[in-house]
């Protein structure tokens, strides 16, 4: 059992890193519209502010500001991940770039069904929890302490595609809130 503690405060801004289970996948950018819809539906039901967000092929970073009367970011991330996973699974998983690990049983004539492939790709605990195996179970969060901390984490979101060698300038990455910030004058190219 984890000894991690999460502050039980009201609202505030929080920086997140959320990763796919299969590092090296491009599922998030390949299915960006599914992700956008999952976020849109979740925000409509449980509002939160998006201060910064960048989606990379296999992980994403975000800074959210949560309402004082409903600071549960875990529920929001759970809803986003569940909605995304459900649609990816309905689309057929492998046809959208999610490839579960195949069983190691190489018997002649053995042809695992899709259900057997999915079970083999997930641990018994993920199967019991009906986890699709698309996401890492946990995410990393950091509660913003002050304005300098906030600015540093927003900048981290914007510059992360450059750090990973995906583009030369933050504004060249299409899956980033940097474009919104440029339109409203919060980010200078």
**Tens of pLDDT, residues 50-76:** 999 999 999 999 999 999 999 899 999
> Which pLDDT score is estimated for 82?
94
The Cα–Cα gap between 103 and 116 comes to 8
**Confidence tier at 122 by pLDDT (50, 70, 90):** very low
Could you tell me if 91 and 138 lie in one domain? yes
> Which pLDDT score is estimated for 91?
81
By CB atoms closer than 10 A (0-12, 13-18, 19+), residue 2 is: exposed
- Using CA of residue 122, residue 30, residue 92, residue 102, what is the dihedral sign? negative
From the list 73, 150, 156, 175, the catalytic residue is: 175
Mean pLDDT, the chain, whole residue set: 82
Does residue 188 form part of some domain? no
Kindly tell me if the per-residue pLDDT of 102 is higher than 50: no
Does residue 6 form part of some domain? no
> Which pLDDT score is estimated for 94?
53
Average pLDDT over residues 115-138: 59
Average pLDDT over residues 107-134: 51
> Is 175 a known active-site residue?
yes
> Which pLDDT score is estimated for 104?
46
**Confidence tier at 118 by pLDDT (50, 70, 90):** very low
> Which pLDDT score is estimated for 150?
96
Does residue 107 form part of some domain? yes
* 171 Cβ contact partners less than 8 Å away, ≥ 6 residues apart: 178, 179, 182, 187, 189
Could you tell me if 45 and 79 lie in one domain? yes
pTM of the model: 0.77
Does residue 33 form part of some domain? yes
Q: Domain tally for the chain?
A: 2
Could you tell me if 126 and 70 lie in one domain? no
Range of the domain at 111: 101-133
Q: Give percent above pLDDT 90 in the chain.
A: 63
> Which pLDDT score is estimated for 127?
45
């Amino acid at each position: 059992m984890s000894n991690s503690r999460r502050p039980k405060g009201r609202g505030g801004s929080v920086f997140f890193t959320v990763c796919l289970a299969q590092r090296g996948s491009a599922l998030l950018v390949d299915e960006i519209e599914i992700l956008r819809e999952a976020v849109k539906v979740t925000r409509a039901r449980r509002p939160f502010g998006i201060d910064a967000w960048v989606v990379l092929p296999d992980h994403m970073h975000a800074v959210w500001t949560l309402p004082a009367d409903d600071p549960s970011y875990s529920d929001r991330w759970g809803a986003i991940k569940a909605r995304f996973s459900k649609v990816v699974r309905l689309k057929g998983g492998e046809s959208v770039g999610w490839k579960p690990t195949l069983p190691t049983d190489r018997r002649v004539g053995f042809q695992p069904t899709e259900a057997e492939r999915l079970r083999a790709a997930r641990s018994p605990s993920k199967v019991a929890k009906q986890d699709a195996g698309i996401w890492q179970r946990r995410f990393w969060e950091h509660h913003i302490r002050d304005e300098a901390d906030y600015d540093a984490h927003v900048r981290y979101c914007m510059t992360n595609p450059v750090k990973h060698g995906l583009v030369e300038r933050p504004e060249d990455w299409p899956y980033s809130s940097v474009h919104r910030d440029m339109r409203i004058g919060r980010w200078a190219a």
